[in-house]
A and B are shown apart, each in its own frame.
Chain A
Amino acid sequence: MKFQAIQGEGWLLTKAEQLINWGRSRSPWPFPYGTACCGIELMCALASGYDMARFGAERVAFTPRQCDVLIEAGTITKKMVPVLKRIYAQMAEPKWVIAVGACACSGGVFRTYSTQQGIGSVIPVDIYIPGCPPRPEGILYALLKLIDKIEADHPLYKQRPKLIEALEAYK
């Protein structure tokens, strides 16, 4: 009974979750992992005409520690796969991945000996964008979808079962 606020959907926790989600969705700092053609369109999406910075995705840093969204734009070859895995592992939670373009989604036209057929089998992907390459509008749309996804998240709920378990032990 004492722990109702934690067990149920208490007002305080819900508001706290909303606040956290608001903050996270308003500043998804991207990690522009642009390897090929899609990288150029990603560049356009970041630049003046489309301006991804409007959604707070402005501070483009190439260090995985400081980024939230891994925007994987372009072909991943088998030679590159270990690097991608490592970059993803180095990112701090919470982290999201957007796979831009046909190559990142499924290997695209390059069904060859050296191309990874989609990054989905290597790292978990949140949003797939089709197209070869997708237009900048597509990338922006994916970002908006990701923002929706972040807003529907339960950042505090994830740890709650553990917490409840600990509190039960206390009784």
Chain B
Amino acid sequence: MAKQLETICITTGPVEVGDYVTLNIGPIHPAMHGTLRVITKTDGETIVSAKPEIGYLHRGVEKLGENLTYSQFLPITDRLNYCSAICNNVAYEMAVEKLLGLQVPPKAQLIRMIMMELARIADHQVCVGILGVDLGALTPFFYLIIQREEIYEIFEWHHGARLTNSMGAIGGVEADLPERFHEKWPKLRDTIRKANDETDKLLTHNRIWMDRTIGVNAFCADDALNWGFTGPMLRACGVKRDLRKEEPYLMYDEVNFEIPTGKHGDVFDRYMVRMLEMEESVKIIDQAYALYKELPEDAPLMKKVPKIIKPPEGQIYHAIESPNGELGFFIKSDGSDKPYRIKIRPPCYMVYQAFEDLVKGEMISDLIACLSSLNVIAGELDR
């Protein structure tokens, strides 16, 4: 049998002949979301080993950061996790602000919060939708995508871009919430809930969906912490940890929200955590919007920042809770107008390195389900 399998016609890479069949999945494969690649050894359909290979989208962002000024690097951060670019923008802005030692005015903080939570919803919608597609249920994906378009509309009103937003600036945000946001938000809240509801009805209690997700790739909390998991992945394992609560930034300590957690860390728990988080995000936006309305209309949006930003020498690390988990920026400054070293700590980098542990002994179909539930975004994985 093995002799017949020597060539791989579609994919590339070394081929081994032995008792196990080496199956190369990716970098171009429907479930690999662009540029991921896993080299698996399978015994029939069971996976004996799965070695992820990354770097197919390594664009040298960190090196680029060392050659651009602080403000110029902001648009580059969009291209990290392109599903929720705003979270990257705000994370970077906040890191530089920490380096400069300045506090952003409250109105800017609230606008950042609202936009970040919208981006979180958009990100989770893609993740859940793609998970459905990879398990064969295409229709929920379309319902969620329509909803995402509405969120994009708000982004477009606010800062003129759909996907790569480059929202705000170092020191605050440039523009107030758009006029139309005030009418749009109550409607949008209902439609987001409706889309989630439809997805929920189509998937959550579906017998096949339950069979495919419950108990698949279950992971225990100790291992997850040892592997450096953060975000929904860690929460699905039952650890109640969210940087919005643990190290509150912006004004997250003034709003009430729950941290949904799972129990077993399986695909179903990850799916449920993401679904519930969308609901929490809607709540956060509601409260942040109420706080926003209390502020006077001409409240400042920007802190005064010099045109050429030259932070003092020193090094800082600042992390926020992005949709995938802890997104941190380490910046070392040498006193010039360019950062001396920028290191990005992407959340899915740590998650994806545990991939072999996650899928060993499962079947090929589970590998696909697992990968989509991790929500690995190649842009921030390879940087």
| A contacting B, Cβ–Cβ less than 8 Å | yes
Structural contact, B146 and A48, CB atoms closer than 8 A:
yes
CA distance A112 to B378 in the complex (A): 17
Structural contact, B379 and A44, CB atoms closer than 8 A:
no
Structural contact, A39 and B34, CB atoms closer than 8 A:
yes
How many residues does chain B have at the interface if contact means C-beta atoms less than 8 Å apart? 37
Question: Given A43-B145, A109-B75, A135-B162, are A35 and B60 neighbors across the interface (CB < 8 Å)?
Answer: no
A and B contact pairs by CB, cutoff 8 A, 22 listed: A35-B57, A35-B378, A36-B378, A39-B34, A40-B83, A43-B126, A47-B142, A48-B142, A48-B145, A49-B145, A49-B146, A64-B10, A82-B12, A83-B27, A83-B56, A90-B9, A109-B64, A109-B76, A112-B60, A112-B63, A114-B59, A115-B59
CA distance A110 to B382 in the complex (A): 13
> A residues within 8 A CB of B76?
109
A87 contacts partner chain B, Cβ-Cβ < 8 Å: yes
Give the shortest distance, in Å, between A46 (CB) and chain B (any CB).
Answer: 9
> B residues within 8 A CB of A90?
9-10
A151 contacts partner chain B, Cβ-Cβ < 8 Å: no
Structural contact, A62 and B57, CB atoms closer than 8 A:
no
CA distance A87 to B12 in the complex (A): 10
> A residues within 8 A CB of B10?
63-64, 90
The 9 nearest A-B residue pairs measured at CB = A112-B60, A37-B82, A47-B145, A62-B30, A110-B59, A35-B34, A49-B149, A48-B142, A114-B60
A149 contacts partner chain B, Cβ-Cβ < 8 Å: no
> B residues within 8 A CB of A28?
none
Residue in B closest to A31 when the chains form the complex, CB atoms: B28
Other contacts beyond A36-B79, A49-B145, A133-B163: 13, CB < 8 A: A34-B34, A36-B82, A37-B82, A43-B126, A43-B145, A48-B145, A62-B30, A77-B56, A77-B58, A82-B12, A83-B28, A110-B79, A114-B59
Residue in A closest to B59 when the chains form the complex, CB atoms: A110
CA distance A80 to B56 in the complex (A): 6
> A residues within 8 A CB of B146?
47-49
A75 contacts partner chain B, Cβ-Cβ < 8 Å: yes
CA distance A40 to B164 in the complex (A): 11
CA distance A64 to B35 in the complex (A): 16
> A residues within 8 A CB of B184?
none
The residue that B60 contacts in the complex, of A40, A44, A113, A133, with Cβ under 8 A, is A113
> A residues within 8 A CB of B149?
44, 49
Size category, A interface: 35 or more
Structural contact, B142 and A40, CB atoms closer than 8 A:
no
Interfacial residues of chain B within 10-47, with CB under 8 A of chain A in the complex: 10, 12, 27-30, 33-35
Interfacial residues of chain B within 92-147, with CB under 8 A of chain A in the complex: 126, 141-142, 145-146
CA distance A1 to B30 in the complex (A): 54
Give the shortest distance, in Å, between B130 (CB) and chain A (any CB).
Answer: 9
Question: Given A36-B379, A40-B163, A62-B30, are A47 and B141 neighbors across the interface (CB < 8 Å)?
Answer: yes
CA distance A100 to B378 in the complex (A): 18
The residue that A40 contacts in the complex, of B29, B61, B64, B82, with Cβ under 8 A, is B82
A41 contacts partner chain B, Cβ-Cβ < 8 Å: yes
A74 contacts partner chain B, Cβ-Cβ < 8 Å: yes
B55 contacts partner chain A, Cβ-Cβ < 8 Å: yes
Residues 306-335 of chain B, each 1 if its beta carbon lies under 8 Å from chain A, else 0: 000000000000000000000000000000
Question: Given A114-B58, A114-B59, A133-B163, are A33 and B64 neighbors across the interface (CB < 8 Å)?
Answer: no
A6 contacts partner chain B, Cβ-Cβ < 8 Å: no
A127 contacts partner chain B, Cβ-Cβ < 8 Å: no
Residue in B closest to A136 when the chains form the complex, CB atoms: B162
CA distance A133 to B34 in the complex (A): 15
CA distance A114 to B83 in the complex (A): 23
Give the shortest distance, in Å, between B5 (CB) and chain A (any CB).
Answer: 17
Residue in B closest to A75 when the chains form the complex, CB atoms: B59
CA distance A34 to B378 in the complex (A): 11
Residue in A closest to B78 when the chains form the complex, CB atoms: A37
Structural contact, A132 and B59, CB atoms closer than 8 A:
no
Give the shortest distance, in Å, between B294 (CB) and chain A (any CB).
Answer: 35
Give the shortest distance, in Å, between B201 (CB) and chain A (any CB).
Answer: 18
Structural contact, A113 and B34, CB atoms closer than 8 A:
no
Residue in A closest to B148 when the chains form the complex, CB atoms: A44
> A residues within 8 A CB of B60?
110, 112-115
A160 contacts partner chain B, Cβ-Cβ < 8 Å: no
Structural contact, B59 and A35, CB atoms closer than 8 A:
no
A79 contacts partner chain B, Cβ-Cβ < 8 Å: yes
| Highest count of chain A CB atoms <10 Å: which of B27, B59, B75, B379 | B59
> B residues within 8 A CB of A74?
34, 57
Give the shortest distance, in Å, between B346 (CB) and chain A (any CB).
Answer: 14
Question: Given A48-B145, A62-B28, A62-B29, are A83 and B12 neighbors across the interface (CB < 8 Å)?
Answer: yes
